[in-house]
Chain A
Amino acid sequence: NAGVTQTPKFQVLKTGQSMTLQCAQDMNHEYMSWYRQDPGMGLRLIHYSVGAGITDQGEVPNGYNVSRSTTEDFPLRLLSAAPSQTSVYFCASSYGKQFSGNTIYFGEGSWLTVV
């Protein structure tokens, strides 16, 4: 039972480069989201999805794109990396149409450095 799988775990990018952080879950969860974690700021929501074909912006969406073509996958794209996007990124998923405090499962994180 893999849960939420993120790749890559570590990545170094040059300013201006683009890349995609992959996220996949095998629990048939409808809800998926991306957070970034920065020191002293906790986790902040970047984008989220309530089902295949549906995405919406979170608290800090600028510089990131997402898509949800399947239930399982929710990739996060950095279009033109900036040093301010140096962070730890977490993908998360949760179950069910009616969110009743169902547990949100997190991936192990992707450490991204932009130089």
Chain B
Amino acid sequence: AQSVTQLDSQVPVFEEAPVELRCNYSSSVSVYLFWYVQYPNQGLQLLLKYLSGSTLVESINGFEAEFNKSQTSFHLRKPSVHISDTAEYFCAVSPVSGNTGKLIFGQGTTLQVKP
């Protein structure tokens, strides 16, 4: 079985400041890792994912996440946030084997960017 823990339920930050949203996971099998973003009253959108290869993955809007296998973490970072980054962020994992397309989500972290 897999579980995902997002260590902060809310992260307030001022505009143009750096931010880190923390994610730890537990799994007895290999997993793929994902970050999804949910803007108010909208569905989830894939932000970035780690499948294999380089442990640092980037999104098109300046976010990056680093897979740390020894610490079983997949923290999300951005060096300078914008007001428009205000949203809820979900970390998720999916087992590599099994071919089910299932995602196991963390509880979510609300990023509040203040002017």
Q: Using a CB–CB distance below 8 Å, which chain A residues touch chain B?
A: 31, 33, 35, 40-45, 48, 50, 56, 58, 90, 92-94, 97-104, 106-109
> Would you call A50 and B100 a contact (CB within 8 A)?
yes
- Does B44 belong to the interface (CB within 8 Å)? yes
Interface magnitude class on chain B? 20 to 34
- Residues of A close to B102: CB separation below 8 A: 33, 45, 48, 58
How many contacts A-B (CB < 8 Å)? 70
- Residues of A close to B4: CB separation below 8 A: 42
- Residues of A close to B45: CB separation below 8 A: 106
- Does B70 belong to the interface (CB within 8 Å)? no
Alpha-carbon separation in the docked complex, A94 to B105 (Å): 16
Alpha-carbon separation in the docked complex, A99 to B88 (Å): 26
Known: A41-B107, A42-B106, A44-B105. A107 touches B43 (CB 8 A): yes
Interface digits, B74-115 against A, CB 8 Å rule (1 contact, 0 not)? 000000000000000010101000111111111110000000
